[in-house]
Structure 1
């Protein structure tokens, strides 16, 4: 039985922090594989800055040399109304029958689930396990304790909290802003992805 982490994100663009996070989580949580799952640009709760195709190509390039990293475009191929994390995890449960699945996310998303903002959040927490990465200013234990959805579904194994060493805040937003302002974020992302961005003139300020 494999231990598999599902790592969903916009990857707009993929960064070295994404890769470092996935590698560190895999090491510390004894995961056999980490699935990189870019979200779809059809989602109503997120606005992407480039096409699915560009984001897909960069994620595939970024992870191509690590045998424990897997690319999956499941959400990109779904109709917008079908996309929620519970449905996605049920898909992977059927795809990886008999394996142990973990949804990897930041503590900010834990807060949103606890506040009832996620579709099927109660079922998601009752049926799946999570690896939660620290975010500055968020007390993860307190977040679980004050939410009925979270604490009533926690059997002691539901939430694996990673509190130290995973709070790096260099983000895709920062990289996009640097590119838009003519900055040089070259070493914040894989070199092949940086060259892809330059070639296709992605995230750069449009003139005229």
Structure 2
């Protein structure tokens, strides 16, 4: 069965940590593609000052040349808050025969009960939870998810055998790159660490005067 990674976020801006994580999930789960889905109106964050169109353009620049990475603007084309459950329903309609794997950080998983219709997520996808450096190196499941955990090191083909309904934990630590720190550097004209952001994205930011104080 085809496996598709779903990578949502504000990508404000997208950086090399995002790309490294996408590559790891692609290779670990043997995905045919990773779909980058910028949020238009993130319900759990302040609306970014940089427009969704600019953030999507930066994603497109960052992933160019990566054959298995795809920009999906479905949340930009939908009215209202960018609820993940609605995005997953849209993806399921597009890819009815694929195993969809929603990627999220360990911190996001722990906050999952605050998400809109969070109990429905596994009706449409598997969850791939990625370790964060500041978190414990294990995953504490929500009560509603008991019995749904799969150890990918012991059952590497589990996600390919079902369309949805499972949870796995990837005990990897992505590069310690922060969009928040990057925005602060850009606002104050500090030196940007060039190995933290694709050069074409940095050029786009500078050309369009984004994140300026």
- Specify the TM-score bucket, using the shorter chain as the normaliser: 0.7 to 0.9
Q: Quote the Cα distance in structure 2 between the aligned partners of 1:125 and 1:140.
A: 23
User: Aligned runs of 1:55-94 on 2, under 5 Å?
Assistant: 55-81=55-81, 83-94=82-93
**Bigger helix fraction:** 1
Q: TM-score, normalised by structure 2?
A: 0.86
Contact 2:88 2:124 in 1 (8 A): no
Q: Quote the Cα distance in structure 1 between the aligned partners of 2:139 and 2:98.
A: 30
Shift of 1:180: 1.1
Shift of 1:127: 4.2
Provide structure 2 residue ranges, at least 5 long, that are not aligned to the other structure.
151-157, 159-165
User: Aligned runs of 1:161-172 on 2, under 5 Å?
Assistant: 161-164=169-172, 166-172=173-179
Q: Quote the Cα distance in structure 1 between the aligned partners of 2:36 and 2:43.
A: 21
Task: Count residues with an aligned counterpart.
Answer: 197
Q: Quote the Cα distance in structure 2 between the aligned partners of 1:109 and 1:188.
A: 22
**1:90–1:140 Cα change, 3 Å:** farther
2:168 is matched with 160
User: Aligned runs of 1:175-186 on 2, under 5 Å?
Assistant: 175-185=182-192, 186=194
**1:137–1:200 Cα change, 3 Å:** closer
Q: TM-score, normalised by structure 1?
A: 0.88
Shift of 1:142: 4.8
Q: Quote the Cα distance in structure 2 between the aligned partners of 1:137 and 1:203.
A: 26
1:132 aligns with 2:125: no
Deviations 1:140-190 (A, max 9, x none): 75521xx212226x16461121113x2432111111011112112133111
1:174 is matched with 181
**1:106–1:202 Cα change, 3 Å:** same
Shift of 1:126: 4.6
Contact 1:43 1:80 in 2 (8 A): no
Runs of 4+ in 1 over 4 A off after TM superposition: none
Q: Quote the Cα distance in structure 1 between the aligned partners of 2:115 and 2:122.
A: 11
Deviations 1:25-50 (A, max 9, x none): 1111211100000001x334322130
1:32 is matched with 32
Contact 2:42 2:83 in 1 (8 A): no
2:154 is matched with none
